[in-house]
Structure 1
Amino acid sequence: MTKVISVRFKQAGKQYYFAPGELEIVKGDHVIVETARGTECGEVVQGVHEVPDASIVKPLKTVTRMADAVDVRRMEKNRADEKHAFEVCTERIQKHGLDMKLVDVEYTLDRSKILFYFTADGRIDFRELVKDLAGVFRTRIELRQIGVRDESKMLGGLGICGQPFCCSRFLKDFQPVSIKMAKEQGLSLNPTKISGSCGRLMCCLAYEQPAYEYLNRVTPGVGSVVKTPEGEGTVVEVNVIAGSLRVRLEGSTTVFKTFHKSECQYLRGGKRVPQPEEPEPEV
């Protein structure tokens, strides 16, 4: 186990581990650290705690120092100047006729570098744009192409549920999401209903997937023959969340009854149901 603190540099951004050294650091403090992008001022979201060695990306960097009022003011000034840099870059993109969309701009704390994040359908030759921007800002320029999910995370917004985007609120990393998840959860496969504002499958499809996988395994599927309190029958409809089975009773094509799965005994057909002692996953 290794003692670390968790630091993030943007709201709802990914958390990074740093070694606290001899400093007394608590949640809510601001610290100065060295990152791959340069010197950064970050907010401590979790104080000193221990994590397994396997979860640490080596080498683990140590906090340089605690941030003071000057650092905080500099960070706030950088945030204000980023808005101006965004306007300048947008104007230069139009001037050079580049097919790209500027998403966000970031200054490093010491202003030794400006990062411009953009989206584009393909590769962009932005060498002339970099030269132009370097002449304006007189510092190192870095343009970084990102995906549409990262764009939504940076810009934020409201999802179809009426809540702010999960990615801009609390998601640290994007999880793989597949159309198979929508099928197993019984959702409509209409792309407009299962896609987020970014145009990709909604991240929330992955939240309940372990529960659906478990329930689908322990619930008789459509076509299964089960023994009910009123006799044998064939399952014609399943609600895995409620645990209910709609059964067509044997010898009739018109008599349908609904039972809870606990009232039914799986006999054959459809899919086999595991033993009850199979552990339920944590969700």
Structure 2
Amino acid sequence: MGCSSCSSGKDGQPKGCKNNGTCGTDGCNKLTVFDWLSNMSLPSGAIPFSCVEIRFKNGRKNFFKNTENLSLSIGDIVATEASPGHDVGIVSLTGELVRIQMKKKKVDVDSEDVKKVYRKASQKDIDIWQKSRDKEESMKVRAREIAIRLELQMKISDIEFQGDGSKATFYYTAEERVDFRQLIKEFAHEFSTRIEMRQVGFRQEAARLGGIGSCGRELCCSTWLTDFRSVNTSAARYQQLSLNPQKLAGQCGKLKCCLNYELDAYIDALNSFPKTDTKLQTEKGTAVCQKIDIFKGLLWYAYEGEWMNWHKISKDDVNEIIAANNNDEKIASLEEFASDLIEDNKTDFENVVGQDSLTRFDQPKRSKKRRNRNRRKNSNKKTSEKKAMVSNKPEAGNPENKKRNRPNNQRNKKRRSSNKNNDKA
């Protein structure tokens, strides 16, 4: 969703807010909340909610109290309370929706974690904030070089400066516990600022950095997903997906969060299926389940010893056979139930939109024999046309032919007269 600061500039060139999706007008912000109560006015005598939601770098959001009763709206840059000093952020949500968000995230209004909003940011505050943010990229490169030199098993993913420039927070990921006491000393000596190290998970790192997933869309964790639930390989097994870590893992290196989206539907569908470890007792032999199809409601069984011959049976018939086996009854064979399932591979597609065939531009390859025949036919046609042209020439007795031959006769007479004169001489 575009915003005014991301519109085109002079001569149609893209202007851009240069905030990588976290612009000040909140039009193309990550994890933004649509204020559907913005057009509704409060009833008479009602006091507006005193807290606001403020967004910082890479989608980090916190709730603050508006104790000064400032007239704040979405997109305003404000100075907030921090320890120590103050921080600078952008208002992302106001009004009654803040109350709903705080209730959803179980944040108490009177908690000590809910700090105050000091004022609207002045131009001096904004200049210091922008100057600090401009140093983050070069600091990150230098910080990674120091961590590699100290041989620490960690990855510094991002750096965030406080609004007043008095503190820098280093976000890092690591598989194991890291002793970074020497690292903090070198950081403080190198950057001459207060250092804070904060470890984040691999999913949180991907959410902060963002990116494009294998589906072609932006990552769910960086656009709308706020809570990270654990994903197990059993989710892939329930959905009958191949356990290939390269396909099941996301950019964070962990299992994709989207494996949980349709898991409940698959579990509900599998409740009506018989257990795959249940064997079917028939007079012909014992049958074992080989494969299931959740969408079509089918199961494939094979007799013990005849593993190459599979019999396709519907789940209702399998449940009926299992119920008969529980009553100490055996069916004759699986072929009785499998014969009813005649698969219709013929599919008729109707042209309901009025479109042409996709293969209308494809030309079938001609064989060499046909090409030689066509060449012979064309050569025969040309020779017949030449013969027809010769036969259609006018005859000598034709008056038109005489007219055409007159200039040639005159030339011959002149040649004869010139030859006679030469002989006389």
**Which ranges in structure 2 are unaligned for 5 or more consecutive residues?**
1-47, 277-288, 299-312, 318-333, 344-425
Task: Select the structure that is richer in helix.
Answer: 2
Sort the Cα spacing of 1:252 and 1:100 in 2 relative to 1 into closer, same or farther, 3 A: closer
Distance 2:339 2:84 in 1: 69
Deviation at 1:199, TM superposition (A): 1.5
Indicate the residue corresponding to 1:63 in structure 2: 117
Q: Which has the higher contact order (CA 8 A, sep 6+)?
A: 1
Cα deviation 1:204-229 (Å, max 9, x = unaligned): 22333444445555xx22469xxxxx
Counterpart mapping for 1:193-208 below 5 A: 193-208=247-262
Percent identical across equivalent pairs?
34
Cα deviation 1:130-169 (Å, max 9, x = unaligned): 2122122222112223322222223322222122222223
Preserved contact between residue 270 and residue 294 of structure 2 (Cα < 8 Å) = no
2:273 to 221, 232, 246: 221
Sort the Cα spacing of 1:14 and 1:81 in 2 relative to 1 into closer, same or farther, 3 A: closer
Work out whether 1:7 is the aligned partner of 2:54: yes
Indicate the residue corresponding to 2:167 in structure 1: 113
Amino acid at match of 1:140: R
Name the SS for the 1:98 alignment partner: coil
Work out whether 1:253 is the aligned partner of 2:338: yes
Amino acid at match of 1:43: I
Work out whether 1:19 is the aligned partner of 2:71: no
Task: Select the structure that is richer in strand.
Answer: 1
Sort the Cα spacing of 1:138 and 1:56 in 2 relative to 1 into closer, same or farther, 3 A: same
Name the SS for the 2:235 alignment partner: helix
Work out whether 1:155 is the aligned partner of 2:209: yes
Between 1:60-69 and 1:108-117, the stretch displaced more is 60-69
Paired residues, number: 242
Preserved contact between residue 49 and residue 95 of structure 2 (Cα < 8 Å) = no
Sort the Cα spacing of 1:45 and 1:135 in 2 relative to 1 into closer, same or farther, 3 A: same
Counterpart mapping for 1:12-91 below 5 A: 13-21=59-67, 22-35=69-82, 39-49=86-96, 50-51=99-100, 55-57=106-108, 58-59=111-112, 60-91=114-145
Distance 2:72 2:257 in 1: 33
Distance 2:205 2:121 in 1: 29
Name the SS for the 1:103 alignment partner: strand
Preserved contact between residue 76 and residue 91 of structure 2 (Cα < 8 Å) = yes
Indicate the residue corresponding to 1:273 in structure 2: none
Distance 1:31 1:19 in 2: 12
TM-score normalised over the length of structure 2: 0.50
Distance 1:148 1:68 in 2: 36
Deviation at 1:196, TM superposition (A): 0.8
**Which ranges in structure 1 are unaligned for 5 or more consecutive residues?**
225-234, 259-283
Amino acid at match of 2:78: V
Sort the Cα spacing of 1:91 and 1:195 in 2 relative to 1 into closer, same or farther, 3 A: closer
Preserved contact between residue 108 and residue 114 of structure 1 (Cα < 8 Å) = yes
Distance 2:129 2:268 in 1: 47
Preserved contact between residue 79 and residue 107 of structure 1 (Cα < 8 Å) = yes
Higher Cα Rg, which structure? 2
Distance 1:116 1:108 in 2: 11
TM-score normalised over the length of structure 1: 0.72
Name the SS for the 2:115 alignment partner: coil
Name the SS for the 1:73 alignment partner: helix
